[in-house]
Amino acid sequence: MNPNIVFIALYDNSHGRYVLQGLIDAKMRPCAVFVGSTRSTLRYRYRSIIRYLRNKGLRETIDRLVYRTFTGKDVIRGKGSEDVLPPDLCTLARRYDIPVIRFDTINQEQTLQALRHYKPDFLVLGGAPLLRRAVLDIPRHGVINTHPAKLPEIRGMDVVGWSIFQGAPLGLTVFFVDEGVDTGPILYFHEVPVPAISSLTLEQIEQKLQSQAGVATVKAIQGFLSGQLAPQTQVKQAGKLYRALPGATRRKVKQMLLQR
């Protein structure tokens, strides 16, 4: 019997598209897809920019905005036929007759009631804000997230770039979400071999990892339900929480890749 899954994403993004497509391909079609409204997305982006401006200053903020705009960071498109990007989240959901519910704030009571209506076994995230305990307590088994780096070593933001900079293994960690930042119990690490990415740019490596997010998510859920995978509590002291990759560090990462 397939699990009852609800998929949640704050806004349309390539990571979320691959996760949703992976669930559908594995016959784990969600019973509903919750996607943040335009208002929710704009509010999130505004707060992120203001926070970054306060912490990093105007010059670094402009550098990041330009970089994210020209690289299309939310929706990274693959170069090869094996990395064909699925359609946007709403189009993908409607193609398979999955109800789409828009929300302004994921933690507000109206959204909580809508989530509870589906009695999910899992909430699966495809790019979502920090969740409060009221959301985490809704699914029978828990909230699943797929993080494009190895946990607990590399938590936080821009983790693919930080993984390369720190020489950490590249891959995706599937874990149960708690109230911390990437600190919940780990289910599965899906490693991406270094030889497979040695000739790629940073953006291409990020896309390669995203393209496997659905595969990793499905393997973790299947392994958990079959009893082959058990959640492993993170040793929080073993990892580090990384902030946004500064422009200078990003350029160093790109130079490191050129020298491989």
Q: What is the pLDDT along the chain (260 residues), one digit of tens a residue?
A: 689 999 999 999 999 999 999 999 999 999 999 999 988 888 878 888 888 888 888 888 888 878 777 666 677 765 554 567 899 999 999 999 999 999 999 999 999 999 999 999 999 999 988 899 999 999 999 999 999 999 999 999 999 999 999 999 999 999 999 999 999 999 999 998 866 666 788 988 998 899 999 999 999 999 999 999 999 999 877 889 999 999 899 999 988 888 87
Query: pTM of this prediction?
Result: 0.92
Q: From CA 13, how far away is CA 218, in angstroms rounded?
A: 18
Closest alpha carbon to 151 in 102, 190, 107, 115: 190
Reading the block at residue 9, the tokens are 């994403």
- pLDDT at site 79: 55
Q: What are 66-71's contacts with CB under 8 Å, separation 24+? A: 67/247, 67/250, 71/203
Q: From CA 23, how far away is CA 191, in angstroms rounded?
A: 19
DSSP character string of 24-42? HHTT---SEEEEE-HHHHH
DSSP state of 241: E
- pLDDT at site 237: 79
CB 76 within 8 A of CB 203: yes
- pLDDT at site 103: 95
- pLDDT at site 81: 45
Reading the block at residue 255, the tokens are 């130079």
- How many domains, the chain? 1
Domain of residue 239, residue span:
5-258
We report the CATH number of the domain holding residue 66 as 3.40.50.170
Q: From CA 205, how far away is CA 198, in angstroms rounded?
A: 9
